[in-house]
């Protein structure tokens, strides 16, 4: 299992050393060095395929926080290896493509560092068995994708797209975290493998449905499902290699993976079925509907990605119906929807990755992605045309390309679902094949737009920024390899089915026994059945709609833009920013007195209110020691010094009186036999007093502040209130015996820590990490002060020279 752990860690290690490599080997393109990472990892994961196909799984646990049941547990099975191979395989091709796509004038060391950070995070997501560890990697994918989308940070659109992606996906991730915590509350474990056998025990738990909805929110936001899809088109402002990687093969598949992984847990509930299926179908339709109106090729592919993700998501929902029946020959037909989802997930990564790279080539070589400026490129860019046509026809679901096979299985699943006798599907099941067919028709239309508007017709060189020419071979290698997979999978699909998809089905249906029975043979020809008739209808109607596109395209203007989801998001964001500004200005007045006022009022209300509501206040002075004359005298001195400080008319007087209070506290420590605390108090008080005196020379002249009587009374009330609450808490603690005292943990300090002074033992050993971090904070603060002094001195020297 070393290699799977290694697969997660290696990208982070290489990302950390990229700056060193970049500085010392500037003559070598850093992309060639980075390319080794996914290539090696792909080969290592591929070596597991035979054993995984035979039914083996691999797991390893590193103890992290065992007291909280949080351990770094990796788990490699049929489902996770699919994503692992996609992440590393497509990652290798994307990095190879980026070497020729990105200019050496770009900040390449930053780009590849972010890319490896994302790669490691994605591998962490798919290989993590512990929910908390999965969540950490999940949010790391959001952070790293934010950096990649905003790579061209000088563009406003890039910054806005990165912000939108971050806000939506992180919000969903937080919801998912709450769902994970609910799962732990129900099961007592964070391990996904340990939760699955407990399904029957938790289905009736009151937290089961809330946990399900919250986890689905995380999946839907990450996989750009309706209505959270709006971040994906804006994220296309990222460099094309990023789009080809994050938004076709990896990041958007994280939500798909999450739904597949949690299907054995939540798939038994009809809320899961309807939510996943309906949201997926709506996303498929809405994405394809919006793709048709786009004039930017990258935007067209973005909405097509939304549509394809909805298709995959809906299939996972439909496949959960099988769990209602348990394993039987009749229920196996419903598992084919899940099989089709996994199959199409792989197919989509191949043809969509190739299409994104084709669009990147057009943009890079011609200077535009605008369909209105393109056309007639078939003979001038023949290789790019061939790859683009293969990818488009596969996405449209035509033979002889892999998209046809999984699209036919999609139609089959929607037809079968009408025969299910659960969830009232006899009445409502018809909606699935209808929406699937309509979405497929629109998919065919935008695929025809991609081919005909870009490569056929007349060329328009006068509208292009650069002369028309074919891309260099370096940029063509990666899309050609992907297009070979598009064709190869069509002719040899069962190799993929038997070695990759079969063990994944066993992961999603662990109680169904032999995965052989869940793995159908994939054929291109099934006779003149309903699915083929639907496909013929898609081609005929789709081509007709494409030919008359200019007559019905005005339908898009009927929908007012101000009510679009993008407009709603923008309005909500603007409203939130305005309200937060107003709220912040209402309490951020710039006066220290106001800030202390808020803190003290909050303290009085919360702590004092809790004492009253809970009835925790109790005073018993019988066990208390008697006051000595020294203590009474010291208290009187402190009271006099405090009152005199309020009446002081100079800063020096107030500072000295404040010092009297501090030194009196030190004397108290001496009386109470705590000489080390007394010494600490004396040092702190001396340094503080000296700093006050040194700061006087930088303060404005003393002027008596005019304070109204109302303000003085408010100050007095709050001061008395804070003092009273502190005294009441202290007295209540002395007599509170509801919990066992923690002092017993430190009574044996000498044997446990070798310290004769219990205070030192606590600081140095029992809370050593806390003390160490405090020292680190002081060290960082010292570095900051030193840096500012040096910069100021350097600036003064420069100014004097000038």
pLDDT in tens, 314-333: 999 999 998 887 766 767 88
pLDDT in tens, 330-369: 678 888 999 999 999 999 999 999 999 999 999 999 989 9
- At 588, the pLDDT band (50, 70, 90 cuts) reads confident
pLDDT in tens, 141-156: 999 999 999 999 888 9
Residue tagged 């205070």 (tokens): 759
pLDDT in tens, 192-228: 999 999 998 999 999 999 999 999 999 999 999 999 9
Q: Does the pLDDT of residue 704 top 60, yes or no?
A: no
Q: Does the pLDDT of residue 708 top 80, yes or no?
A: no
DSSP bridge pairs for 73: 61
DSSP-based helix, strand, coil % in the chain, nearest 5: 75, 0, 20
How far separated are the first and last CA of the chain, in Å rounded? 64
Q: Which residue has the higher pLDDT, 699 or 447?
A: 447
Q: Would you give the distance in Å from CA 613 to the centre of its chain?
A: 40
Contact 127, 81 (CB under 8 A): no
Q: Does the pLDDT of residue 799 top 70, yes or no?
A: no
pLDDT in tens, 418-474: 888 777 887 888 999 999 999 999 999 999 999 999 999 888 888 888 889 999 999
Ramachandran sector of residue 69 (left: φ over 0; alpha: ψ -120 to 50; beta: rest): left
- Name residues whose C-beta falls within 8 Å of residue 176's C-beta, 6 or more positions apart in sequence: 135, 138, 214, 215, 217, 218, 219, 258
Residue 536: the pLDDT is: 95
- Give the whole-angstrom CA distance, residue 334 versus residue 326: 11
Residue 643: the pLDDT is: 84
Contact 345, 374 (CB under 8 A): no
- What sign for the dihedral angle of Cα 698, 700, 703, 708? negative
The chain-wide mean pLDDT, for the chain, equals 89
Q: Is the bond preceding residue 445 a cis peptide, omega within 30 degrees?
A: no
Q: Does the pLDDT of residue 304 top 90, yes or no?
A: yes
Residue 623: the pLDDT is: 61
Contact 469, 365 (CB under 8 A): yes
Residue 794: the pLDDT is: 66
Residue 703: the pLDDT is: 59
Contact 711, 597 (CB under 8 A): no
Task: Tell me the mean pLDDT in the region 714-729.
Answer: 88
Contact 502, 515 (CB under 8 A): yes
Contact 685, 657 (CB under 8 A): no
- At 795, the pLDDT band (50, 70, 90 cuts) reads low
Tokens of 523: 């054929």
Residue 630: the pLDDT is: 81
Task: Tell me the mean pLDDT in the region 163-173.
Answer: 94
- At 130, the pLDDT band (50, 70, 90 cuts) reads very high
Residue tagged 């502190």 (tokens): 726
- Give the whole-angstrom CA distance, residue 612 versus residue 468: 80
- Name residues whose C-beta falls within 8 Å of residue 711's C-beta, 6 or more positions apart in sequence: none
- Reduced to 3 states, what is the DSSP secondary structure of residue 60? strand
- List Cα–Cα distances, 297 to 73, 140, 216, 650, in angstroms: 42, 29, 30, 72
pLDDT in tens, 14-60: 999 998 888 887 778 899 999 999 999 999 999 999 999 998 999 99
pLDDT in tens, 226-279: 999 999 999 988 999 999 998 777 889 999 999 999 999 999 899 999 999 999
Residue 65: the pLDDT is: 85
- Give the whole-angstrom CA distance, residue 283 versus residue 229: 8
Residues in the chain: 802
Query: Radius of gyration (Cα) for the chain, nearest Å?
Result: 33
DSSP bridge pairs for 60: 74
pLDDT in tens, 508-544: 998 887 778 888 889 888 888 889 999 999 999 999 9
Residue 798: the pLDDT is: 64
Q: Does the pLDDT of residue 744 top 60, yes or no?
A: yes
Q: Does the pLDDT of residue 793 top 70, yes or no?
A: no
- List Cα–Cα distances, 432 to 317, 332, 720, in angstroms: 11, 19, 69
- Give the whole-angstrom CA distance, residue 608 versus residue 620: 19
pTM (predicted TM-score): 0.82
- What sign for the dihedral angle of Cα 23, 24, 27, 30? negative
Segment among 52-61, 62-71, 132-141 with least mean pLDDT: 62-71
Q: Does the pLDDT of residue 757 top 90, yes or no?
A: no
- At 593, the pLDDT band (50, 70, 90 cuts) reads confident
Could you give the residue ranges of the DSSP H alpha helices within 418-518?
425-428, 431-455, 473-491, 493-496, 502-508
Task: Tell me the mean pLDDT in the region 100-128.
Answer: 93
- Give the whole-angstrom CA distance, residue 329 versus residue 332: 5
């Amino acid at each position: 299992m070393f290699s799977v752990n290694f697969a997660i860690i290696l990208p982070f290690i290489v990302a950390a050393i990229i700056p060193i490599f970049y500085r010392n080997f500037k003559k070598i393109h850093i992309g060639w060095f980075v390319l080794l990472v996914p290539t090696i990892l792909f080969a290592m994961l591929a070596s597991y395929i035979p054993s995984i196909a035979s039914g083996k799984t691999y797991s390893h646990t590193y103890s992290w926080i065992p007291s909280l049941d949080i351990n770094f547990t990796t788990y490699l099975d049929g489902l996770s290896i699919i994503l692992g191979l996609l992440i590393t395989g497509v990652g290798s091709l994307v990095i190879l493509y980026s070497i020729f796509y990105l200019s050496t004038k770009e900040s390449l060391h930053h780009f590849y560092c972010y890319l490896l950070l994302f790669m490691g995070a994605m591998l962490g997501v798919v290989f993590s068995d512990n929910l908390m560890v999965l969540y950490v990697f999940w949010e790391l994918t959001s952070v790293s994708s934010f950096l990649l989308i905003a790579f061209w940070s000088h563009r406003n659109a890039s910054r806005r797209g990165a912000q939108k992606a971050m806000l939506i996906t992180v919000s969903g991730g937080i919801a998912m975290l709450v769902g994970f915590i609910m799962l732990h509350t129900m099961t007592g474990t964070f391990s996904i493998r340990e939760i699955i056998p407990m399904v029957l025990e938790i289905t009736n738990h009151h937290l089961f449905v809330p946990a399900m909805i919250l986890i689905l929110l995380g999946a839907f936001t990450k996989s750009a499902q309706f209505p959270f899809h709006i971040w994906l088109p804006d994220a296309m402002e990222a460099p094309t290699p990023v789009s080809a990687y994050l938004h076709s093969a990896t990041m958007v598949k994280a939500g798909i993976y999450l739904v597949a992984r949690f299907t054995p847990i939540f798939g038994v509930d009809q809320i899961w079925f309807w939510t996943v299926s309906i949201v997926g179908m709506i996303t498929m339709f809405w994405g394809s509907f919006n793709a048709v109106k786009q004039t930017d090729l990258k935007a067209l592919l973005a909405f097509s990605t939304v549509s394809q993700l909805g298709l995959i998501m809906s299939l996972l929902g439909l496949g959960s119906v099988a769990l209602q029946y348990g394993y039987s020959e009749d229920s196996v037909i419903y598992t084919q929807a899940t099989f089709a989802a996994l199959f199409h997930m792989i197919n989509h990564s191949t043809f969509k990755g190739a299409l994104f790279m084709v669009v990147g080539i057009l943009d890079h070589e011609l200077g535009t992605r605008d369909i209105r400026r393109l056309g007639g490129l078939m003979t001038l860019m023949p290789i790019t045309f061939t790859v683009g046509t293969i990818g488009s026809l596969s996405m449209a679901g035509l033979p002889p390309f892999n998209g046809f096979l999984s699209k036919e299985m999609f139609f089959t699943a929607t037809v079968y679902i009408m025969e299910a006798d659960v969830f009232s599907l006899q009445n409502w099941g018809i909606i699935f094949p209808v929406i699937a067919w309509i979405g497929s028709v629109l998919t065919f239309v935008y695929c025809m737009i991609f081919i005909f508007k870009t490569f056929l017709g007349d060329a328009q060189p006068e509208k292009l920024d650069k002369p028309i020419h074919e891309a260099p071979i370096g940029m063509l290698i990666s899309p050609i390899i992907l297009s070979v997979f598009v064709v190869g999978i069509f002719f040899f699909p069962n190799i993929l089915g038997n070695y990759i998809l079969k063990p994944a089905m066993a992961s999603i249906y662990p109680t169904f026994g032999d995965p052989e029975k869940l793995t159908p043979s994939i054929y291109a020809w099934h006779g003149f059945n309903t699915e083929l008739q639907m496909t013929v209808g898609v081609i005929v109607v789709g081509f007709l709609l494409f030919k008359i596109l200019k007559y019905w395209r005005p339908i898009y203007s009927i929908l007012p833009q101000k009510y679009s989801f993008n407009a709603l998001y923008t309005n909500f964001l603007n409203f939130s920013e305005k309200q937060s500004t107003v709220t912040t200005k209402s309490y951020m007045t710039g006066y220290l007195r106001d800030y202390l006022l808020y803190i003290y009022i909050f303290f009085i209300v919360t702590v004092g209110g809790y004492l009253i509501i809970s009835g925790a206040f109790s005073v018993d002075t019988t066990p208390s020691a008697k006051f000595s004359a020294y203590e009474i005298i010291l208290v009187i001195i402190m009271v006099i010094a405090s009152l005199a400080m309020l009446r002081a008319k100079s800063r020096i007087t107030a500072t000295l009186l404040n010092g009297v209070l501090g030194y009196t506290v030190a004397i108290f420590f001496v009386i109470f036999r705590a000489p080390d605390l007394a010494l600490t108090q004396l040092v702190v008080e001396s340094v503080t007093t000296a700093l006050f005196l040194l700061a006087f020379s930088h303060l404005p002249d003393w002027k008596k502040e005019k304070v109204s009587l109302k303000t003085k009374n408010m100050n007095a009330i709050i001061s008395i209130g804070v003092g009273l609450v502190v005294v009441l808490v202290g007295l209540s603690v002395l007599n509170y015996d509801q919990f066992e005292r923690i002092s017993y943990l430190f009574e044996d300090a000498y044997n446990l820590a070798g310290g004769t002074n219990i205070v030192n033992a606590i600081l140095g050993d029992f809370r050593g990490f806390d003390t160490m971090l405090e020292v680190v904070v002081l060290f960082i603060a010292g570095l900051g002060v030193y840096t500012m002094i040096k910069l100021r001195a350097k600036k003064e020297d420069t100014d004097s020279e000038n």
